[in-house]
A and B are shown apart, each in its own frame.
Chain A
Amino acid sequence: MRALRSMGPILAVLAVLLVLIAVANPFFLEPAGFLAFLKRAAPLVILAAGQYFVIVSGEFDLSVGSLVTVQVVVAARLIDGQEQATWPVLALLIVIGLLVGLANGVITTGLRVPSFITTLGMMLVLSGAVFLWTGGAPRGALSETFRMFGRKDLGPVPWSVLILLAAGTAAILLMRSDFGKRLIATGDNERAAGLSGVRVDRTRIAAFVLSGLAAAVAGILLGGFAGVSAQVGQGLEFQAITAVVLGGVALGGGRGSVVAAMAGAFTLEALFTLLNLYGISGALEFAVQGVIIIAAVAASAVRLPFRRALRV
């Protein structure tokens, strides 16, 4: 009940946006139209869920955008249009995602590098590596099977919506488990969590690994949706962070629900769709994201004194 109340505002905003979209475009109310929206939102929602784990533990992951690009570019080059290469490459992409997350986590916790710096560095390393390997332009082609997940339907339902359902359910179950409680405790008060027996470093590493995994899945869906591109991941890290913040999750950690973070991603995607439907896009999208991040952080800063007062 408490969780539902805290999610009230974001759900209200989402509902209003959905109504506005439906007014501009009645097709949106039909199952096919709505499923198309879910399909388009799926990569960002999954990415936001991954980012949520990291943010709620008190860190950031800025590397997910370039990680998505790496996934798509690597997949295209290794698959090179051959169907039989699809499954091994999909497995490899998941492993790459997990390894990048692991590296982010170990460097942040073990070497005490602030995650902002770690993942910024990782973002540069990954985009540099892609550039070196491709000489600036992706080569090869994705197979039909690979593209199925982002583009095709299973019966009436797009594959990406099914994958989104699975990923969302897994994220919710994970947050309801002991791991979720340890994660929130870590983000809320690292010292207190440590003293009460939480292995803070391990918990944070796990959060980064989950974020890497989410980026791998998002990369597979985006590559499937739109095909090979060297720009596919550009700016996605900020979209994911914006979505999480929009869902009311506190930057700095310790508060907010994963469902709200995913609702934030839906809201952001709905906002982009609406801007597009009204013929406004491009630069304004960035401006909107910027305003959201600043407003959310300002809001949390403003209320901090009250919170302390309450605790005393």
Chain B
Amino acid sequence: MNRSITALVAGVSAMLLAAGCASDKPATSSAAPETSAAASSAAASPNTGEQSKFFVQADYDAQLAMRTQSAEGPADKPWEQAIAPEMVSTAKYKKDGPYNLCFSNAAVNNPWRQVGWKTMQAEVALHKEIKQFTALDAEGKDDKQISDIAELVGKGCDALIVSPNTTATLTPAVTGACPKVPVIVFDRGVETDCPVTFINPIGGYAFGADGAEFLVEKVPAGGKVLALRILPGVDVLETRWSAAKVTFDKSELDVVGVEFTDGDAAKTKSIVSDYIQRHGKIDGVWMDAGATAVAAVEAFEDAGVPVPAIVGEDQQDFLQKWKSGGLTAIAPTYPTYQWRTPIIAALKILKGEEVPKTWKLPQPKITSETLDTYLRPNMPPLHYALCGCEKLPDFPAGWGGK
């Protein structure tokens, strides 16, 4: 009797919730309000929801234009190249070596950051004039990174490299360090221009648009596209989706869903399987990052249907799947070779050479023509191809390869 009451109450509450949800019309994502989507229901893709509040038209335009601009610098070393650089003088930082470089790292909590971190250490090893390289890992915690930066500033570093964990929270810490030591920020940004240089590839808009444009080209008009995102509210991911949304909204494609996967392979596979069952056929899959791309591909394989056009990333397991399955695919990248550039920048600054104020690195996309260049059979599945690390000492063993 008692058991029945517990189960009944629990069950009814669950059903109420389920029923409440079922009576809503299918929403695109939990974050997207219905109003504007409904208002623009005449558009080709009413399912893409409202535009992200992270969307900035000027940045979007600038990034999309940068994709076709040629970069200055050595063509075989994209980590030394810069797109449309505006150089700044660093004469006031000039000092004699040997140098003590410091690095405050946000985290090494995903394969992308791992590959980058190894690459950065290898770059440091190339330069004999670096006497000491002190790195502190903030383990993904803002508060730890704030105290890490304070600690490093007090240690007599000649230059401080920061890869911020989050943009807004780390801004005061970076602002505080700027007067005491030349600061180099890379990967994610901060809301101050006090660092000597800010280094990163073109950015999220270019990444998102590369994938979406590929689907528009490969999927016939009216085709069903499923968009998979990791999670909402992170600027680099929001810009990827917002650029894709712009592309999809202008296209004839039918975006049947925009789902968050938490970057979880099992969840990705379940979501994709559900969409295949529900729509019978999915003609394209867009992703804001390719870490779970293989899980999405496997969902089609396990359902016994052909794998449609898909967007991935430069992770080896995806490239491998692409090659062996003969997929119609593209891999936009956010290259890990950008981890080499801050070391190069720091040495330039300490030698008094000019550096770009905003150092934009090229951001190539891997296509079926260039796939073979980037697929390396002996590298581990979670290795990122655009590490720029192939000619560094200790490659491939240092990156887990054979």
Contacts and interface: CB of A to CB of B under 8 A. Distances in A.
A299 B268 CA distance: 35
Interface residues of A, number: 72
A28 B270 contact: no
Contact of A248 (B6, B28, B298, B303): B6
Interface in A6-40: 6-10, 12-13, 16-17, 20, 24-25, 27-28, 33, 36, 40
Nearest to A234: B264
Given A227-B294, A284-B30, A267 B21 contact: no
Interface stretch (A170-178, A198-206, A275-283): A275-283
Contacts of A40: 270, 273
A260 interface: yes
A12 B11 CA distance: 9
B8 A9 contact: yes
Contacts of A295: 9-10, 13
B169 to A, nearest CB: 21
B271 interface: yes
Query: Which one of B27, B111, B265, B273 has the greatest number of beta carbons of chain A within 10 Å?
Result: B265
Interface in B69-122: 107-111, 113-114
B278 A256 contact: no
A9 B109 contact: no
A292 B382 contact: no
A246 B11 contact: yes
Given A231-B264, A250-B3, A295-B9, A280 B14 contact: no
B217 interface: no
B257 A226 contact: no
A74 interface: no
B11 A291 contact: no
B11 A280 contact: no
A277 B10 contact: no
A282 B382 contact: no
Given A136-B113, A136-B114, A299 B382 contact: no
A220 to B, nearest CB: 13
A202 to B, nearest CB: 27
Interface in A257-312: 260, 267, 271-284, 287-288, 291-292, 295-296, 298-300, 303, 307
A273 B1 CA distance: 30
B45 to A, nearest CB: 14
Contacts of B108: 135-137
A9 B381 contact: no
A112 interface: no
A298 to B, nearest CB: 7
Interface string B261-282: 0111110111101100110000
Nearest to A263: B7
A9 B262 CA distance: 32
A227 B298 contact: yes
Given A136-B107, A225-B266, A5 B274 contact: no
Contacts of B317: 141, 227
B4 interface: yes
Nearest to B274: A276
A181 to B, nearest CB: 17
Contact of B7 (A24, A36, A131, A260): A260
A298 B9 contact: yes
A10 B18 CA distance: 15
A137 B114 contact: yes
Interface in A123-138: 131, 135-138
Given A229-B265, A260-B3, A151 B274 contact: no
Contact of A280 (B1, B21, B265): B21
A247 interface: yes
Given A9-B11, A136-B107, A283-B30, A27 B381 contact: no
15 contacts: A16-B15, A33-B277, A136-B108, A136-B110, A137-B109, A151-B302, A249-B3, A276-B259, A280-B24, A283-B30, A291-B14, A292-B13, A296-B9, A299-B6, A299-B9
Interface of B: 1-15, 17-18, 21-22, 24, 26-30, 107-111, 113-114, 257, 259-260, 262-266, 268-271, 273-274, 277-278, 292, 294-295, 298, 302-303, 317, 380-382, 400
Given A5-B4, A256-B3, 10 more contacts: A10-B7, A28-B277, A135-B114, A138-B111, A273-B270, A280-B24, A281-B30, A282-B30, A282-B260, A283-B30
